[in-house]
Amino acid sequence: MGFLLGLLLLGHLAVVAYGHPILEAPESVTGIWKGDINIPCTYGPLKGYTEVLVKWLAQHGSDPVTIFLRDSSGDHIQQAKYRGRLRVNHEILGDVSFQLNTLEMDDRNHYTCEVTWQTPNGNQVVRDKIIDLRVQKVSVSKPTVTTGSGYGFTVPQGMRISLQCQARGSPPISYVWYKEQTNNQEPTKIATLSTLLFKPALVADSGYYFCTAKGRVGSEQRSNTVKFVVKDSSKLLETKTEAPTTMQSPMEVNSSWGWTTEVDDYLGETSPGPGKGLPIFAIVLIISLCCMVVFTMAYIMLCRKTSQPENVYEVASVHAREANDSGETMRVDIFASGCSTEEPASWTLSNDYFDEPCLGQEY
């Protein structure tokens, strides 16, 4: 318990004594001749502390010389030797690392990262770190062969794919691609680039390939031989679509509900064979739709029939002209009138008409 209290006390004292931002950087870094190097230098931002000045210095003789300066007016490269090769990070707050491209042997030096902050009370605090940069010549390593986008070395015909040759060493590194021949013939030189592109890949491109790499230092290095195979998709399709010669009944051959076999050029998947008919759920759905249509039509016809008025009229009329021609007295019986009258049942027809209904009665 006392040990923990002692650690807490030491931590509190460290915060009081070193309450300002602290720079973090390695003591030394090693770069490859003619390559690029990133020299890290970072700090943890603190509330109330504002970055006002960033410097990178290089040791020349006994005194350091400023090679880079960042202030309120922007970034400034002070030495012509570093112009176009030096860049200091400004995208992330607290990261002031700088990158140096195309390293030369005379770039070996002691570099100082220096940052100035303004404190909450208006004062300024300066912190710096010294990093030793070493530059060495590196022989080219044995190259490795990979395919673009992580594909394997067996691909279908017509695919766009590339073979990539990669090696480490002092740049520039030159690459050469070879394709081995049959009958113990010498390999054929086919390209002088790090990437061998097939657009598209053909069956004739199948074979054994390897690449070589040569840098500024050391001898030429050769990669392992890889077997590159391009499959003929048309032959694959013919093989998978061949069906056994078996007798089929006319019902199976002429079935309109049969499904045809489809072959995927690459996956080789097939759909259900002929003669299996529709699924059960499809048949149930069709029957349900037919029943709904029949019930709907019957309901519509019933509604139209009941909506018409049922008015029955019994009319008996005799034209006077017909009566005169026949010379007979016709008797007209009126039914369903519901009227009580004292007039005799037989009337002599004349030109007078009695069309008015009895009040309160149906006619």
Average confidence score pLDDT of the chain: 75
Strands 154-156 and 188-191, by their bridges, are unpaired
* pLDDT band at residue 37 under the 50/70/90 scheme: very high
Q: 303 or 146, which is more confident?
A: 146
Distance CA(33)–CA(217), nearest Å, equals: 10
User: Which pTM does this prediction carry?
Assistant: 0.50
What is the tens place of the pLDDT at every residue in 315-334? Answer: 334 343 444 444 444 443 43
Per the CB < 8 A criterion, the answer to whether 21 and 54 are in contact is: no
Secondary structure class of 152 (helix, strand, coil) = coil
How confident is the model over 109-123, as a mean pLDDT?
Answer: 93
Distance CA(73)–CA(89), nearest Å, equals: 16
Percent of the chain whose pLDDT exceeds 70? 66
pLDDT of residue 212: 96
Looking at the predicted structure, is the pLDDT value of residue 24 above 70? yes
Identical topology for domains 20-136 and 144-234: yes
Range 20-136 has CATH code 1.10.3720.10: no
Distance CA(167)–CA(208), nearest Å, equals: 20
CA 307 to chain centre: 61
pLDDT of residue 236: 54
* pLDDT band at residue 306 under the 50/70/90 scheme: low
Return the HEC string of 17-36. HCCCCCEECCCEEEEECCCC
Strands 161-166 and 195-198, by their bridges, are antiparallel
Per the CB < 8 A criterion, the answer to whether 203 and 230 are in contact is: yes
CA gyration radius, the chain? 52
CATH number for the 144-234 domain, one of 3.40.630.90, 1.10.150.20, 2.60.40.10, 1.10.287.130?
Answer: 2.60.40.10
pLDDT of residue 341: 42
pLDDT of residue 227: 94
Residue type, 339: C
Distance CA(292)–CA(297), nearest Å, equals: 9
Of 123, 120, 82, the closest CA to residue 104 belongs to: 82
What is the tens place of the pLDDT at every residue in 70-91? Answer: 999 999 999 999 999 999 998 9
Residue type, 326: S
Distance CA(248)–CA(37), nearest Å, equals: 74
What is the tens place of the pLDDT at every residue in 155-212? Answer: 999 999 999 999 988 888 999 999 999 888 899 999 999 999 998 999 999 999 999 9
Q: How many residues does the chain have?
A: 363
* Helical H segments across the chain, by residue range: 2-17, 233-241, 250-253, 280-306, 320-326
In sequence order, what DSSP letters do the residues of 217-249 get, joined into one string? SS--EEPPPEEEEEE-HHHHHHHHH--------
pLDDT of residue 129: 95
Instruction: Report which DSSP code applies to 95.
Output: B
Domain ranges of the chain: 20-136, 144-234
Of 52, 31, 6, the closest CA to residue 100 belongs to: 31
Strands 226-231 and 154-156, by their bridges, are parallel
